[in-house]
Structures are given as structure tokens and as C-alpha cells.
């Protein structure tokens, strides 16, 4: 476990080393209006996105798992998918739809005109990040709700509480750790994202790192360190809070989670879900569908409308391969850490956990370069340079926190006494783990794996720099098409990416969360 | 992994890091491979990020050749002594001024800075005679810029070397005072101008040509500044051979092949860029390659001076 922690130290240690090597004047870099203003914007954006994602993600999870929402299986399939849009792709779709002169304005002009709200700046960045990151909350909360023993709610109801009262006194406290875990991930993601904020013109710290990455490396590295420190402070703060507020959680195997009838709120809830998922998923898909259709039906061979479906088949396989392997490795590598934190509250595990989180808050380029730095001249490991094992390692370093946070919630929900009871009955430790504890944690583990899967499939800079030559993914194809102005081909690849995510999350995550 | 790519000796295989995307150069590299029998492996990526990768890899880099979309990334690596000196007969193929003065890289294609405008919103009589005019009140809020984009930074560096820092800073501050709308990259500006979200924008010439290919009904039109105006700067894409490569001659062979007349003609017709060969043809509907760039701008200044340029751009307040 210490070794795992040590590997996770890699990116942060690299950033510190580069700052020393370049002689970055950290005080001058940080104590500057051009740094502090973007920093405040980063924190403001990340906080607001975390709050809105928490609200939307929790509400959607409850509606799809515990209520009689119409077409709930369908929504359950769609709800995690917006996460797979690379944020620059989501922002592009939003701008095409809602910017002045965009598709929405055209539609409005047909029905007599009207003004479209301005999507640039803070509002646009907040909207795009909320629409495309709420699954970080949705998936763990849905998994938690599926594992919540119905007996708790039933007894609460027998005590005469109203459905809302049951929600507040039983469901909310039991899901709070999952909501926290998800919101924290959203916060860290929003801090590190630059694709959407750059396109929407909201100047954050991550965007400054991006602008300075080549020609002002001391500042870029100084700011990267600031990003990592922000992550560490947030994680430390969360741990301190956690120590003081701890609810005892319970998980149980239940084939039939309690379904709450929505009654007269049913149409309202349905409309709400329709509008939200319409904006997060169906809207962008419609824009891509339009571009791709225009390409497929066109006879022109010019780069803007040319499409080549065959060129995307192998990248589709590569995306699936990278995502699935990374998800499995991440869960396997971080389960022991999550276990140590949840069960033994070890301080060392707490530090390792903070390192894992820092890897998520650092921009992907920095994580990739750190691996280049550590591996390329190191005897014994240099033969792995730009191979699949190294690529997977880089993904795990970047996305490990997605697995560890959600996994921890899953571990915490397994009553420690359960294992002890089994132990006194003579079951051996490993068997006990496999037969008693693992199945109880499974929904949580799958949710964590799902987050890693979707995040890996949209990852770009690490893939471009560290993948074996020729290992194209759908994300690199979308990027390449964007750079070349191949609108139709990029749209086609985006549609394929969403379709692939739908198939994989359904087969591997959503369907199985219900089985356990 | 040691130097080079572990191929069996000089000339049998090449590893290329390419900032040009696969659509724009992949088929050509394949053709080179077929014609010469040299196996070519390509890593595609963003030019700036590939330069960072090469810098971090140092002398252990598996790359033999680096093809960059911007002279800035080449200048950075040249400054670190990572690029090999190319022979005169290679750098001499392009018109003077389109290769590094230290012969560490050679231009492959050229793009010209233009002002793209929406023909429904802008009266051609309102178009400026010089890029400097865009800082005037008359253009307040009307001109989109991409201050964090490499091409814009190259352009500002050229302006500094040509007109001095004071004029450049005043121009940037004028654009900032004009609240010129910000975009992250050229293509986003062209899309915004075509939609009518903003009237004009400073970009490279070929983005609009490609947008029009996809949808000829778009209202966006390229305006070329007069040839003697710094606004019409030529920005080259370039190629180089890594000093750490053990396939130097095969690398040079690839660059020479990319500069052959047939391949250059392909760039002109397929990607609508300028050829840098003396007397070469040019894409349809664009003015002759002349004026700025050729022998007036020292591209090495673009590399070394970029750190200061980025600082100047940021301090002007244009990014806000």
C-alpha cells in the first residue's frame, strides 16, 4: 500500500521539483493580481458547480432509483452519460446551440423571435460544467440508494413519518457521504478543467496554466503547484469535517429497494428530468447528429463534411479497452487504500489519499509529463515508456481519486461487525471478504469504476503524449477532427463515444448495481 | 529505450512527432513510406504539448523528426540545443527567411494572418488599411481576438520586432480598451463571425476557407491586409530533426520530400496553405505571398521572445 501511495506521489513531486529547478519565485507568481483574480474565479466556479451538481445529481439519483418516475430505466441508462463528453466538446455544442446567431436563436426567430440568454462567461462555464459533471455525484448516490436497506425507511414510515420526513431523517443522512464524495470530485474537476472555461471565456487558474505551459514554464509550474495545494487543503478540510460528523451507515443486500410513489408530483418530476437530461445529453446529441447527418448525406469530399466511419472502428475498440482496463486497475489499486482509511483511520493512508486527490486536480498534461520525467531515464522501467502499462498507470494516477472516494463510501457502509460475525463462524478472511463484504460493496465499487471508465474514455492530453504510437481513441479522433476543421467527422466520433459509453455503463455498471 | 527508435540502423525507420493533425499530413507520410521504404511511425498531438514532451524526454526521446504548427515551439527547442543543424541544400529550398537562421528548422507551409469579417454586418469600406487601426474607437467591441493562441502570440512577437514594444503595447491596450471579445482559438472566432456573434476577428487565412467548404452559405469573408502591413504576417509550419536522433539522414530525407514540388502542390490544393518554395503556386482566391515575413521578420525572435510577448499580452488587460 505504501508503494501505491509512493507512485501517486509522482506528479506532485515532479511539480515541486520543476519549481525548484526553474527557480520559480512562488511569492511573486502567487501574489499578483493576474494570479489571484483567476484563483478566486476558479474557487467560485468550482464551489457553485459543486453545489448545483450535488443538488441535481442527488435528485436524479433518488428519482431514478427510489421513485416511480415514468420511464425510469431509460433515464437510469442516460443519466451517467453526459460525463463522457470532453468539456470542450460540450462547450462547443452549447455555443453552437445558444450563442448569438446559434441554432436556438434560429429556432426562436421561426416562432417569432425572442432573446437567448448569454452563455459566455461565468454563467456558461457554470452551466456546462454542471451539465457534464453532475454524474460524479449521480453515480455514487444512485449506488448508495440501491444498497440502502428498505427496512430503515419502512420502520421510519411505520413510526408515522411523511415520505418527505423519511427522506430527510433516513435517506439524506445515509446518502450524505456519497453526496460529499461526489461533490468533492466535481469541485476538483472544475478547478482543473480548462477546455470549457477557455471556450466560454471565463479566465480561471487552469486556463492560465494552459496559456503559460510552453513559454512561461516557471509560472505554469508555480500555478500548477497552487492547484495541487488547493486540492490538498480541500481534502484536509473534508477529513477534519468528517472526523466530527460521522453517521453510522448501513448497507444490505436487497433485491427490491423501496419505491416511493410520486403521486401528483409525477408529471412535474418527469418534466424536470426531461428538461435537464435534454440539455445535458439530448441537446448536444442533436447538434452532433445534425453535423454528422449533413456530412454523411453530402457528396462533397472537402474536409468539413467528409466522414469516414471505418476510420473510427479501431479507435472505438481502443477507447473501450483503455476505459475498462483503467477502471479495473484503479479499483484494485485503491480498494486497499480506501479500506485502510475507512476501517483503520490510518494517518498514513490519509496522506496517501490526499496525494491521490492531487493527481486529479493537476492538469492532465502535467501528470503525463511527470511520468515522462520519472520513467524515461530510469533503468528497469524505461522499457515501459509509451507502452500500454504506462498509459494505464498515468490514467490511474489522474483518475484514481474517482475510484478511491467512491470506494471508501462503499467500504464504510459495510458494517464492521458483519465481518467479525462471519469470522467467529470460522470463515477464513479471504473467503469472508469475497462472500460477505465484497458483494455488499459492489454497487459502490461499480459506481467508482463507472466514473473512471467514462473519464478515461474522454481523456486527451495523457493519451496524446503517452499512448503507444497508433493507439488512437475516439477522444483523440474528436480532437484531431476539431483541429483540422472536420466538423462532420468529429460529430460522428462524438456520437460513437456516447453510444459506446451507453453500452458499457449499462452492461458493466447500471445493470449490475441493481443485481447486487 | 535508447536514442532513436531502436530501428535496425540509419534510414530504415523514423519516429515523427507531428503537431499537424493526421488528416493534414498522415496520407503524405504514408506515401513517403511507400516511396522510400522507410517505415514512419507518427505521434500526433498539439504542437506546444509535443514540444513540452520533447523537452522533458531530452536526449532519450524516441523522436527523430518534429513537425510543428508554429515557429514558436521550434524556437523553444532550438534554444535548448535539441534540434540538429540541417544542411544548406535543405534550408535553401524555401524562400529566404522561411528557415531558422541557425538552420535548425525549415518551413514547410505558410499561413497568412487575416481579418475575417461577416459580410452582412460589415461594410467593406469600414475595413482597416492597417492592423494598427483596430485599436481605434471605431472598432470598439467589433474585433474578436485569441490572446492565448499561438498564432496571435507569434503575430504580437512579430509586431514587437517590427514596430517596437511601445507601439505594440499601445495597440494591445487599445484592443483591451475596446473590449475586444476573447476566444480561445482561430476556429472559434471564424464560427462566431459566421454566426454574426461578432463582426470581425483576427485569424489565420485557411480556417475560413475550410469553414466555407463545409458550408458555402456562411457570411464570413477573409480580408487580407495590404502586403506591406505587419497585419499580413506569414506564420510558417516547420520541420526539424532532433539532435538526439540516430536517423539524421532519413529525417532530412523526409523534410526534403515534404518540400518537393509535388508535395507542396498537394498542400496548396488540399489544405489551402501557401507553399514556401520560390515561385510556387498558391491557393485559389488568395493574394500573392509577399510583404511581411519573408525577409523582414526574424523567426528566431519569435521563439526566444515569446515569454516576454505573453507577459505583454497579459499585462495589456486584453484577456479580461
Residue B43: φ, ψ to 5°: -105, 115
Q: What is the pLDDT of residues B309-320, one digit of tens each?
A: 888 888 888 876
| Of A441 and A324, the one with more pLDDT | A324
φ, ψ for residue B178, nearest 5 deg: -75, 0
Using a 10 angstrom Cβ sphere, with 0-12 exposed, 13-18 middle and 19 or more buried, the burial of residue B26 is middle
pLDDT at residue A60, rounded to an integer? 94
How confident is the model over A445-473, as a mean pLDDT?
93
Residue B296: its pLDDT value, please?
A: 45
What is the per-residue pLDDT for A441? 83
* Cell 448536444, residue located: A284
3-state secondary structure of A472: coil
Cα dihedral across residues A31, A35, A39, A40: positive or negative? positive
Residue numbers in B near A372 (CB within 8 A): 53, 56-57
Contacts of A331 (CB under 8 A, 6+ apart): A403, A407, A445, A448, A449, A452
- Name chain A contacts of B62, Cβ cutoff 8 Å: 385-386
Q: Does B210 touch chain A (CB under 8 A)?
A: yes
Judged by CB atoms closer than 8 Å, whether chains meet at A484 and B24 is answered as yes
Look over chain B and give the mean of its residue pLDDT values, rounded to a whole number. 87
Q: ipTM exceeding 0.95?
A: no
Pick the residue from chain B with its C-alpha nearest to A218: B307
Q: Which run of H or of E encompasses B114?
A: strand B106-118
Chain centroid offset of residue B118 CA: 24
Cβ distance of B211 and A481 shorter than 8 Å: no
pLDDT on residue A287? 83
Domains of chain A, first to last: 2-262+271-515 (1.10.3720.10)
pLDDT digits (tens, 9 = 90+) for B112-140: 999 999 999 999 999 999 999 999 999 99
Q: Nearest-CA neighbor of A301 among A486, A438, A126?
A: A486
Average pLDDT, chain A: 84
Mutate to test the interface with B, among A108, A215, A385 (most CBs of B within 10 A): A215
Nearest chain A residue (CA) to B50: A465
Given pLDDT bands bounded at 50, 70 and 90, which one contains residue A85?
confident
Q: Which residues of A touch B213 (CB under 8 A)?
A: 300, 302-305
Which residues from B are below 8 Å from A199, CB to CB? 183-184, 188
Chain B, 40-59: which have a CB under 8 Å from a chain A CB? 41-46, 48-53, 56-58
**CATH class for the domain made up of B13-110+234-285:** alpha beta
Q: Which of A254-263, A322-331, B186-195 has the highest mean pLDDT?
A: A322-331
Residues of B in contact with A476 (CB under 8 A): 44
Q: Nearest chain B Cα to A305, which residue? A: B214
* DSSP labels, A59-112: HHHHHHHHB--TTHHHHHHHTTGGGGS-HHHHHHHHHHHHSTTSHHHHHHHHTT
| Domain spans of chain B, in order of start | 13-110+234-285, 112-232+306-315
Residues of A in contact with B215 (CB under 8 A): 304
Q: Could you tell me which chain A residue has the CA closest to the CA of B190? A: A485
Mean pLDDT of B169-180: 92
Residues of A in contact with B43 (CB under 8 A): 464, 469
CB neighbours (10 Å) of residue A324?
17
- Whose cell is 451507515? That residue is A249
Selecting from B15, B57, B197 the residue whose C-beta is nearest the C-beta of A100 gives B197
Q: Do A304 and B210 touch (CB under 8 A)?
A: yes
Contact A484 B314 (CB under 8 A): no
Report the gap between the CA of B93 and the closest CA in chain A (Å): 27
B280 vs A: CB within 8 A = no
Record the pTM: 0.89
| pLDDT cut 90: percent of chain B above it | 52
Assign residue A217 a region: left if phi > 0, alpha if psi is -120 to 50, beta otherwise? alpha
Helices in chain B by DSSP H: which ranges? 22-36, 47-57, 71-79, 88-91, 150-163, 165-177, 186-195, 205-214, 248-258, 261-266, 299-304, 306-315
Distances in whole angstroms, Cα of residue A513 to Cα of each of A78, A133, A138, A147, A178: 15, 20, 13, 9, 15
Q: Is B80 on the interface with A (CB under 8 A)?
A: no
- Partners of residue B46 in chain A, C-beta under 8 Å: 461, 464, 483
- Cβ of B72 and A469 within 8 Å? no
Pairing of strands B13-18, B200-204: unpaired
pLDDT of residue A251: 62
The pLDDT of residue A345: 67
Under an 8 A CB cutoff, do A211 and B310 touch? yes
Closest alpha carbon within chain B to A207: B148
- Nearest chain A residue to B181, by CA: A201
The predicted pLDDT at position B3 comes to 42
Nearest-CA distance from B206 to chain A in Å? 10
Residue bearing the bigger pLDDT, A485 or B93: B93
Q: How confident is the model at residue A297 (pLDDT cuts 50, 70, 90)?
A: confident
Q: Which of B45, B57, B211 sits opposite A376 (nearest CB)?
A: B57
Q: How far is CA A501 from the centre of its chain?
A: 13
Q: Does the pLDDT value for residue A427 go beyond 80?
A: no
Question: What is chain B's percent helix, strand, coil content, to nearest 5?
Answer: 45, 15, 40
Chain B residue numbers touching A215 (CB-CB < 8 A): 72, 76, 153, 306-307, 309-310
Positive or negative torsion for Cα B298, B303, B307, B311? positive
Distance between B41 CA and the closest CA of chain A, angstroms: 7
* Closest Cα in chain A, distance from residue B87 (Å): 28
Chain A residues touching residue B156 (CB < 8 angstroms): none
Q: Hey, what's the cell of A252? A: 444490505
B56 closest CB neighbour out of A96, A373, A484:
A373
Q: pLDDT digit string (tens) for A268-292? A: 899 999 988 888 888 888 888 988 8
Helices A347-361 & A217-244, crossing angle to 10 degrees? 140
- pLDDT value at A350 more than 80: no
State in words which class domain B112-232+306-315 has: alpha beta
Q: Smallest Cβ distance to A99: which of B48, B197, B207? A: B197
Q: Taking CB atoms and an 8 Å limit, are A198 and B22 in contact across chains? A: no
Contact B72 A215 (CB under 8 A): yes
Task: Please name which of A53, A61, A185 lies closest in space to residue A131, comparing C-alpha atoms.
Answer: A53
Pairwise CB contact (< 8 Å): B187 & A382: no
CA angle at residue B120 from B118 to B126, to 5 degrees? 70
Grade residue B2 by pLDDT with cuts at 50, 70 and 90: very low
pLDDT at B153: 86
DSSP 8-state assignment for residue B203: E
Residue A426 has pLDDT above 70, yes or no: no
Spatial distance between the Cα atoms of A436 and A427, rounded to a whole number of angstroms: 10
Return d(Cα A216, Cα A29) in angstroms, integer: 11
Residue that wins the pLDDT comparison between A137 and A174:
A137
**B39 reaches A (C-beta below 8 A):** no
On whether any CB of chain A is under 8 Å from the CB of B119, the answer is: no
Q: Residue A85: CB partners within 8 Å, gap ≥ 6?
A: A93, A132, A284, A458, A494, A497, A498
Lowest model confidence (mean pLDDT) among A245-259, A448-462, B292-306: B292-306
Among A99, A211, A303, beta carbon nearest to B210: A303
Residue A515 has a pLDDT of 55
Grid coordinates representing B208 are 475560413
Same fold, B13-110+234-285 and B112-232+306-315: yes
- C-alpha B158/C-alpha B165 separation (Å) is 10
Q: Among the listed ranges A298-312, A377-391, A464-478, B22-36, which one has the minimum average pLDDT value?
A: A298-312
- Positive or negative CA dihedral for B32, B34, B39, B41? positive
Integer CA distances (angstroms), A280 to A64, A275, B172, in order: 16, 9, 38
Across the interface, do A469 and B15 touch by the CB < 8 Å criterion? yes
Question: Which residue spans within A390-514 are E strands per DSSP?
Answer: none
Chain B closest-CA separation from residue A130 CA (Å): 21
pLDDT for A53 beyond 90: yes
The closest CB to that of B56, out of A102, A369, A476, belongs to: A369
Task: Specify burial of residue A420 (Cβ count, 10 A radius: 0-12, 13-18, 19+).
Answer: exposed
Q: Which three cell numbers stand for residue A399?
A: 483518475
B192: contact with A, CB 8 A cutoff = yes
What residues of chain A lie within 8 A of the CB of B48, using their CB?
213-214
Chain A residues within an 8 Å CB radius of B310 = 211-212, 215-216
Q: Please give the pLDDT value at position B6.
A: 40
| Weakest mean pLDDT among A112-126, A213-227, A285-299 | A112-126
The residue assigned the cell 434560429 is: A106
B288-303 per-position pLDDT tens digit: 776 555 444 555 555 5
Question: Which has the higher per-residue pLDDT, A419 or B261?
Answer: B261
CA angle A329, A333, A339 (to 5 degrees): 135
Residues of A in contact with B320 (CB under 8 A): 203
CA-based nearest distance B54→chain A, Å: 10
Q: Lowest mean pLDDT: which of A83-87, A380-384, B102-106, B247-251?
A: A83-87
Query: Could you say which of B1, B21, B194 has the minimum Cβ distance to residue A483?
Result: B21
Mean pLDDT (whole number) for B217-226:
92
pLDDT at B297: 56
**Confidence class for position A424, pLDDT limits 50, 70, 90:** low
Instruction: Say what the pLDDT of residue B9 is.
Output: 43
State how far the Cα of B176 lies from the Cα of B139, in Å rounded to an integer. 11
Q: Is the pLDDT at B33 greater than 80, yes or no? A: yes
Amino acid at each position: 500500500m505504501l508503494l501505491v501511495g509512493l507512485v501517486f506521489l509522482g506528479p506532485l513531486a515532479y511539480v515541486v521539483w520543476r519549481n525548484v529547478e526553474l527557480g520559480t519565485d512562488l511569492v511573486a507568481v502567487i501574489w499578483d493580481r493576474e494570479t489571484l483574480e483567476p484563483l478566486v474565479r476558479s474557487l467560485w466556479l468550482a464551489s457553485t458547480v459543486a453545489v448545483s451538481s450535488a443538488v441535481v445529481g442527488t435528485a436524479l439519483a433518488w428519482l431514478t432509483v427510489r421513485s416511480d418516475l415514468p420511464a425510469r430505466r431509460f433515464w437510469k441508462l442516460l443519466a451517467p452519460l453526459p460525463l463522457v463528453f470532453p468539456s470542450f466538446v460540450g462547450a462547443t455544442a452549447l455555443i453552437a446551440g445558444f450563442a448569438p446567431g446559434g441554432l436556438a436563436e434560429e429556432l426562436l426567430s421561426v416562432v417569432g423571435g425572442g432573446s437567448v440568454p448569454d452563455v459566455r462567461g461565468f454563467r456558461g462555464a457554470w452551466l456546462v460544467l454542471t451539465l457534464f459533471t453532475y454524474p460524479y455525484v449521480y453515480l455514487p448516490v444512485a449506488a448508495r440508494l440501491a444498497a440502502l436497506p428498505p427496512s430503515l425507511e419502512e420502520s421510519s414510515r411505520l413510526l408515522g413519518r411523511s415520505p418527505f420526513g423519511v427522506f430527510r431523517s433516513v435517506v439524506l443522512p445515509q446518502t450524505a457521504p456519497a453526496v460529499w464524495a461526489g461533490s468533492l470530485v466535481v469541485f476538483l474537476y472544475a478547478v482543473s478543467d480548462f477546455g470549457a472555461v477557455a471556450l466560454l471565456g471565463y479566465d480561471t487558474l487552469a486556463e492560465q496554466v494552459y496559456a503559460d505551459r510552453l513559454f512561461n514554464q516557471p509560472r505554469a509550474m508555480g500555478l500548477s503547484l497552487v492547484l495541487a495545494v488547493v486540492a490538498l487543503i480541500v481534502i484536509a478540510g473534508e477529513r477534519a469535517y468528517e472526523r466530527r460528523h460521522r453517521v453510522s451507515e448501513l448497507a444490505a443486500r436487497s433485491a427490491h429497494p423501496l419505491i416511493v410513489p410520486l403521486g401528483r408530483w409525477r408529471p412535474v418530476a418527469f418534466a424536470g428530468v426531461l428538461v435537464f437530461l435534454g440539455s445535458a445529453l439530448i441537446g448536444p446529441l442533436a447538434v452532433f447528429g445534425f453535423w454528422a447527418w449533413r456530412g454523411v448525406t453530402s457528396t462533397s469530399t472537402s474536409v468539413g463534411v467528409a466522414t469516414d466511419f471505418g476510420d473510427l472502428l479501431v479507435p472505438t475498440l481502443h477507447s473501450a479497452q483503455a476505459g475498462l482496463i483503467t477502471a479495473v486497475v484503479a479499483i484494485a489499486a485503491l480498494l486497499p487504500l480506501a479500506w485502510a482509511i475507512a476501517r483503520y483511520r490510518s494517518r498514513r493512508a490519509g496522506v496517501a489519499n490526499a496525494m491521490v486527490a492531487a493527481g486529479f486536480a493537476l492538469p492532465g498534461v502535467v501528470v503525463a509529463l511527470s511520468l515522462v520525467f520519472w520513467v524515461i531515464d530510469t533503468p528497469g522501467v524505461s522499457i515501459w515508456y509509451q507502452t500500454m502499462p504506462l498509459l494505464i498507470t498515468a490514467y490511474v494516477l489522474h483518475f484514481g481519486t474517482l475510484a478511491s472516494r467512491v470506494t471508501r463510501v462503499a467500504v464504510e457502509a459495510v458494517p464492521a461487525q458483519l465481518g467479525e460475525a462471519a469470522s467467529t463462524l470460522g470463515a477464513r478472511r479471504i473467503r469472508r471478504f469475497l462472500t460477505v463484504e465484497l458483494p455488499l460493496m459492489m454497487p459502490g465499487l461499480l459506481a467508482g469504476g463507472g466514473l473512471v471508465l467514462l473519464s478515461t474514455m474522454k481523456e486527451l492530453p495523457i493519451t496524446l503524449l503517452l499512448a503507444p504510437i497508433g493507439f488512437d481513441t475516439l477522444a483523440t479522433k474528436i480532437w484531431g477532427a476539431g483541429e483540422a476543421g472536420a466538423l462532420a467527422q468529429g460529430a460522428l466520433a462524438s456520437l460513437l463515444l456516447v453510444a459506446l459509453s451507453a453500452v458499457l455503463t449499462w452492461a458493466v455498471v447500471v445493470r449490475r448495481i441493481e443485481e447486487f | 529505450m535508447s536514442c532513436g527508435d531502436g530501428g535496425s540502423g540509419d534510414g530504415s525507420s523514423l519516429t515523427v512527432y507531428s503537431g499537424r493533425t493526421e488528416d493534414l499530413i498522415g496520407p503524405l507520410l504514408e506515401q513517403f513510406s511507400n516511396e522510400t521504404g522507410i517505415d514512419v511511425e507518427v505521434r500526433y498531438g498539439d504542437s506546444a504539448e509535443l514540444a513540452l514532451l520533447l523537452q522533458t524526454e531530452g536526449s532519450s526521446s524516441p523522436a527523430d523528426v518534429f513537425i510543428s504548427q508554429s515557429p514558436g515551439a521550434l524556437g523553444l527547442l532550438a534554444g535548448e540545443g535539441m534540434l540538429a543543424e540541417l544542411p544548406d541544400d535543405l534550408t535553401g529550398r524555401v524562400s529566404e527567411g522561411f528557415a531558422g537562421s541557425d538552420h535548425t528548422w525549415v518551413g514547410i507551409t505558410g499561413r497568412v494572418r487575416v481579418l475575417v469579417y461577416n459580410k452582412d454586418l460589415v461594410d467593406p469600406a469600414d475595413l482597416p488599411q492597417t492592423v494598427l487601426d483596430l485599436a481605434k474607437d471605431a472598432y470598439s467591441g467589433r474585433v474578436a481576438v485569441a490572446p492565448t493562441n499561438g498564432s496571435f502570440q507569434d503575430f504580437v512577437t512579430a509586431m514587437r520586432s517590427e514596430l517596437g514594444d511601445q507601439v505594440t503595447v499601445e495597440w494591445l491596450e487599445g484592443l483591451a480598451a475596446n473590449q475586444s471579445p476573447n476566444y480561445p482559438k482561430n476556429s472559434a472566432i471564424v464560427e462566431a463571425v459566421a454566426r454574426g456573434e461578432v463582426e470581425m476577428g483576427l485569424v489565420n487565412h485557411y480556417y475560413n476557407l475550410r469553414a466555407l467548404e463545409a458550408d458555402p452559405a456562411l457570411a464570413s469573408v477573409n480580408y487580407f491586409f495590404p502586403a506591406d502591413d505587419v497585419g499580413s504576417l506569414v506564420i510558417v509550419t516547420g520541420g526539424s530533426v532532433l539532435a538526439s536522433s540516430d536517423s539524421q539522414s532519413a529525417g532530412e530525407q523526409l523534410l526534403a520530400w515534404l518540400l518537393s514540388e509535388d508535395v507542396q502542390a498537394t498542400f496548396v490544393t488540399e489544405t489551402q496553405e501557401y507553399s514556401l518554395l520560390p515561385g510556387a503556386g498558391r491557393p485559389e482566391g488568395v493574394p500573392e505571398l509577399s510583404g511581411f515575413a519573408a525577409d523582414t521578420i526574424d523567426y528566431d525572435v519569435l521563439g526566444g521572445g515569446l515569454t516576454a510577448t505573453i507577459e505583454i499580452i497579459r499585462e495589456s488587460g486584453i484577456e479580461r
